[in-house]
Amino acid sequence: MARLVFDIETSALDIGVFDEAQQEYLFREAERLPNPEDRAKRRAEISQMFSLWPFTAQVVCIAMVNADTGRGQVLFQSDDFEEDGEVSSGPVEFAPQPDEGELLTAFWDVAHRYDSIVTFNGRGFDVPFLYLRSALLNVPITRKDWLGYRYQTEPHTDLAEQLTFYNVSGREGAARKFNLDFYCKAFGIPSPKAQGVSGMDVPDMVAAGEYRKIAEYCLRDVVATAELYKIWHDRLAGIK
């Protein structure tokens, strides 16, 4: 069974793309605060969250590898895109894309070739983000079954769900949710954050034009997720 492991990176859209009514809606909570300093602080906090919402952010990178072979591709937006600009890095090809629409189109072209997927928190973030951004840009979605019945691992194994046994004990219990970095360190997997980059840095890297750096970070996340999947599959799969 062909199994695809993937991760996405997102970055907030410029506030100028939203009209006055949309901006008022986005910052309404902050504007209700009477203290100017509190208001400014809350506006900054809301702005920082824009990267998490598909109606206020875009996909700037998708890294993916075959769970069995380790071969894969990293699709990423790049200002210096050139046709035939793919560059191989071992078994993984880096493929710059001219815009988000082309990136998503290329991703769905790959996705339909796979029977199932593996993600870390993909049910809560990556998959709905991809679905909604694709719908907004009118990009055809080739797999619409990744958010089906939650309590199954086919066609979507979400390791954040599996390692918490579907949040069986809440935030404070034995199976509380940790981030990917924490799980990797606990299981002896090289952390994707070891080089000092995290998802919070992506918007700044986009602003600086560091697209390849984003792609390399995203790939590290996917490689770590693939390793974590192997451990889960060998030691924990089947627990009900």
The 8-class DSSP code of residue 199 comes to G
Query: Which pair of tokens denotes residue 148?
Result: 């089906």
Helix (H, G, I), strand (E, B) or coil at 162: helix
The span from the CA of 105 to the CA of 116, in Å, is 18
Helix (H, G, I), strand (E, B) or coil at 153: coil
Domains annotated for the chain, with CATH where assigned, are 3-13+55-235 (3.30.420.10)
| 61 CB-contact burial (10 Å; exposed 0-12 / middle 13-18 / buried 19+) | buried
- Give yes or no for residue 126 having a pLDDT over 50: yes
The per-residue pLDDT for range 73-110, each reduced to its tens digit, is 999 999 865 554 555 557 999 999 999 999 999 999 99
Q: How many helices (H) and strands (E) does the chain have?
A: 9, 7
User: Is the previous residue joined to 96 through a cis bond, with omega within 30 degrees of 0?
Assistant: no
The per-residue pLDDT for range 156-189, each reduced to its tens digit, is 999 999 999 999 998 889 999 999 999 999 999 9
- Non-local (6+) Cβ contacts of 169 within 8 A are 175, 176
- pLDDT score at 81: 56
Looking at the chain, the whole-number percentage of residues with pLDDT higher than 70 is 96
- pLDDT score at 140: 98
Query: Which pair of tokens denotes residue 65?
Result: 């590898």
Is the Cβ–Cβ distance between 224 and 192 less than 8 Å? yes
The span from the CA of 225 to the CA of 67, in Å, is 9
* Secondary structure element (H or E) that encloses residue 31, with its range: helix 28-31
